Amino acid sequence: MNAQDRVLTALSHKQPDKTPYQINFTQNARKKMADFYGDPEFESKLGNCLSLQSYSQRKHWKEIATDIFQDHFGVRWNRSVDKDIGVVCNQLVTAENVNAFIFPDPVDNTRKELYQDFIANSRDRFVVVNLGFSLFERAWTLAGMENILMGMVADKEFVHILLDRILEYNLAIIEDICKLEIDAMMFGDDWGQQSGLIMGPVLWREFIKPRIRQMYSAVKTKGKFVFIHSCGKVDGLFPELIECGLDVFNPFQPEVMDVFEVKKKYGDRLSFYGGVSTQKTLPYGTVQQVKDEVRRLVDKIGEKGGYICSPAHDTPGDAKPENIAAMIEVLQNQ
C-alpha cells in the first residue's frame, strides 16, 4: 500500500497494512527538529500520508507593519508572539456594515497553478485542501469574538446575516476546489474550549449546524471526504456531525475526551485524526511514555481502520525533540 491507499482503507473502516499518520509542526518545533536531526529537509523523509494545502496561503498575506500581517479579508494579525497564527488586532464588520462589507473573490484563478503543482507533487499521498477559519472563526475574526457571542443572544439577525454571507462564500470555494483531483476538504472551525462548547449546544445548533450541513453536503456530492478541525471538548456533537456528513474528526484531544471510549462508541461511523497528547506527553513525558502512548493509539484506535495517528495539534514548540523523535520512530516502524 502507498500512503493514499492506507488513508482510503482506514477511512473505509478497514485495516490497512499500517496505520496512516501525519506529523505537522509549528515554526519553533520545526526548527528544533531540524537542529536535532541536523537536517533541514527532515520533514520530507517522515513518510506522512496526507498532503495538506491551505486555501489561505500565508505567503499571500501582506506584512503591513513589523509583525502585523493582513490576510485576504483585510483582517490584521499581530504575530509578534505567536508566529504561526497571531492575534486579530482590528475589526472590519459591524451590524451597520454587515451587508455592505466586500468579501474577497472566492474563485481566485491565481491559485490554480499553485493547486495543480501541489496535486502533482503529492506523490501518492491523500490530498486535502484546508479551508481554515471557515465559519464561526471567520465571523469572529471579522467582527470580534465578544460581538459574535453577544450577538448570538442579543442581535441574532446580525450574526445570521454574517454567517449566511460566509456560507455563500464558502460554497463558492467548495464548488471551485472540488473540481480538482483532491481527496478531501478540511474545515477549520474551533467551537470548543477545555470544558465544553464556547457558545453552548443550543446556540451551536441554531447558528452553526444548519450551515455546516450545507457545506459538508456540497463536498460529499462531489465525491470527496469531509474533515473538521475543531479544538476542545466537542465530542457531545459527534452524533450530529455524523448526521451532517462528517467523515473525519481532528484533533481528537486526549486531554478533553477519552479517545478510546470515543472510538468504541463512534468508530464504525466516524474516523479520527490526532490523538497524541500535545499538552502533556510530548512536552512533559519521557521517551518511553511517548512510545507507549503512540503504540497504544496505533494498536487500539487504529484497529479496524478509522484512524490517522498524529499529534493532537501541530507539534508545539515546547515538545521535547527526543519525544518527537520517539513518536516518529514508532510510526515509521509499524
Q: 55-98, pLDDT tens digit by residue?
A: 876 667 899 999 999 999 999 999 999 988 999 999 999 999 99
* pTM of the predicted model as reported, rounded to 2 decimal places: 0.95
Q: 157-213, pLDDT tens digit by residue?
A: 999 999 999 999 999 999 999 999 999 999 999 999 999 999 999 999 999 999 999
Cα 288 to the chain's mean position, in Å? 28
Q: What ranges do the domains of the chain cover?
A: 3-57+92-332
Q: Report yes or no: 227 and 250 within 8 Å, Cβ to Cβ.
A: yes
Q: 232-268, pLDDT tens digit by residue?
A: 999 999 999 999 999 999 999 999 999 999 999 999 9
127: which strand partners? Answer: 51
Q: Which pLDDT score is estimated for 58? A: 60
Q: Report yes or no: 24 and 52 within 8 Å, Cβ to Cβ.
A: yes
Backbone torsions φ then ψ of 250, nearest 5 degrees = -135, 145
Q: Which pLDDT score is estimated for 117? A: 85
Q: Identify the CA nearest to 167 among candidates 116, 106, 123.
A: 106
- Give the DSSP per-residue string, 216-269: HHHHHTTT-EEEEE--SS-GGGHHHHHHHT--EEE---TTTS-HHHHHHHHTTT
Q: Report yes or no: 269 and 228 within 8 Å, Cβ to Cβ.
A: no
272: which strand partners? Answer: 249, 307
The alpha carbon dihedral of 230, 235, 240, 243 has a sign of positive
Q: 146-155, pLDDT tens digit by residue?
A: 999 999 999 9
Distance CA 150, CA 173 (A): 29
Q: Identify the CA nearest to 170 among candidates 218, 128, 207, 222.
A: 218
How many Cβ atoms are within 10 Å of 148's Cβ, its own excluded? 24
Distance CA 117, CA 99 (A): 36
- Give the DSSP per-residue string, 168-222: HHHHHHHHHHTTSS-SEEEEE---EETTEESSHHHHIIIIIHHHHHHHHHHHHTT
Is 214 exposed, middle or buried, given 0-12, 13-18 or 19+ CB atoms closer than 10 A?
middle
**CATH class name, domain 3-57+92-332:** alpha beta
